Structure 1
Amino acid sequence: MCRILLAVGNGYRMRPLVEALIKSSENDPYKAARGKGSQHKDGWGYVLVSRDSIVHYKSSKPIFEDDEAKRLMNSLPSFGALILHSRAASQGKVNSFNAQPFSYASPYGYQLYFMHNGDLLKELILEGLKLPKDKYEDVSDSYLAGFYLSLFVKGLDDRDIVERLALLKPTVRTSLNTGGIMITPDQEVKAFGTAYMAEDYLNDPLSRNYMKIMSFYSADLFAVMSSTLERYTFIPLDEVENGTVFTVSVDFKEEKFDVKKYELSTDATSP
C-alpha cells in the first residue's frame, strides 16, 4: 500500500504537505505498526498542472532518494493541481510502469491521471473489462482501476465520476483511496479523491490508522492525503469520513477552485 497526496491551490502552501509525504515514505510508523516495514520505496510519481504546463513524472526509485523530489518542491506554481504518489507494492512488478500516477487517453475526449492506495481484486476488474489475465500478470491492480474509469466515465460531470468510482467498491480488498485529475482539450480541469476502506479494516485500529484519509481546506488550498502525513506536518488536518468522494473544479484563469463532497454511492447526491 502507498502514500498519496491530492492538492489544489497555492503551491507555496502545498510545499509542507509534499515534504510530509517524502518523510512519510521514508519512515511510516503506521505501516511499521502493522508489521509491514516502515518504508514506501517501490517507486513514485506526480502530475503537476499549472496554467501553462502539465508535468508527469514517474520513477522506480524511492521518492526519498530521488533528486526530482527536490525539484518538485522548488517548482510548485502560484496556483496548480497536484497528485503525488509513493508506492509500496502489493500487486504488479516494481518498475517505472507500475509507478503512479497513471495516464490514460479516454475515448470520451479527456486525459485522465489517476493514483490509488489500497489492494483490489484484480481478477474481478479483468473479468468486468473482458481482458485476458495472462496479459496483465505484471500490471498493478491500480492501473486497471484507472483504465476502467477512463473507459466508462463519460466526462467531467460529478455524478458520472462518483457513480463509476462507487462501482469499484465490490473489487476492494483493503481500500479505495484515490486521487485523479481530468483535463479536456479546452483546458477544463476536474480533480477528484476518495476515502474508502473495507469494513473489516475500519474496525481494526492499526489498519484504520494506516488507511484513513486526512483533509485540509482553506481559502487558498484544498488537499486530501494519506494518514501518515499528519505525523510530519503542523498543518491541522481532519479525518475524512469513510465512504467520501471529493470533486474539485479548477479554474486556472481565475486561479480558484470549487470543492464538492459526496457519498461514495451509485446514487451520487450531496450528503
Structure 2
Amino acid sequence: MPELFHRKLERSAIGFVLAIIAAASVGGIVEIAPLFTIDETVEEAPDMRVYTPLELAGRNIYVREGCYACHSQMIRTLRDEVERYGPYSLAVESKYDRPMLWGSKRTGPDLARIGGKYSDAWHVAHLINPRDVVPESNMPAYGFLGRTALRTDELADHLRVQKTLGVPYTDEMVENAARDAYGQAAPDSDFAAGVTERYGDATEMSAFDGVATQLTEMDALVAYLQVLGRLTEAAYQNTVAPQEAPDPND
C-alpha cells in the first residue's frame, strides 16, 4: 500500500512538490520555533568576554585542522557526562561562536571544559606527539604548529568580520589585533598591558608554546584550548541538578 501511494504521488508533479514543501516545513518549524523564546532560554552572563585575537586565531586553526570532527564542545545534562567533564554546557557560552562547534562525535573527549585543566606544557607535548602523554591516543601529531609562524596581518579582518556578525569587538580591538596577539603570548613585552586593558584582567597571558620570542600557530591553538569553558563563570553558578543517565537495560 505505501509503495502504491508513493508511485501515485511521484506521477503527480503538483502533489509531489506539495509533499516536499510539507516535509521541509517540519524541519523549518523545529528549527525556527525555538527562536521565538530565545530570550527565555539563553541565560544572562554579564561577565561574558570575547575571544582575544590570539584565541580567535587558535579557534580558526582548530577548525582548519578538523579538530571538531573528533571532539565535541557540548556537555549534556546527564550525570555521567557532568561527572566526567564538568558543568553541563549553557547556550550563552556559545553566543560569540561563529560558527558554533558543539559537535556530536567523540573520538576524543569533549573539550568544553578543557581550559585550565592542563598546563600549557602539557598541551604542547600532547599536540607534538599525543602518545607521549596519552599512550592509547589515536590523535594525529601537530608538531608542525610549533614551527609555523602565526600570520597576524589577517587578524584585524577576522575581528572585523566577527563584529559584523554581532560580536562586540570595538574599533580599538580591531585596530590593535596584531599587537594584542603578540602581547598575549609575550607577557613581558610592551604590548601586554594593552591586552588586559582591552580584554580584561581575566585574560591569560603566557608564552603558550614555551618560547616568548616568536609567535606560532602552537601559541594560538593552546591559547584557544586554555580559554574553553572560561569565557564566563555562568555554568559554575548554575545549581540545577543534572539528569540521571538513561539505564541501557530499560
Q: Indicate the TM-score class for this superposition, using the shorter chain for normalisation.
A: under 0.3
Greater relative contact order, per chain length (Cα 8 Å cut-off, separation 6+): 2
Instruction: State TM-score, norm by structure 1.
Output: 0.26
Q: Which has the larger radius of gyration?
A: 2
> Which of the pair is proportionally richer in strand?
1
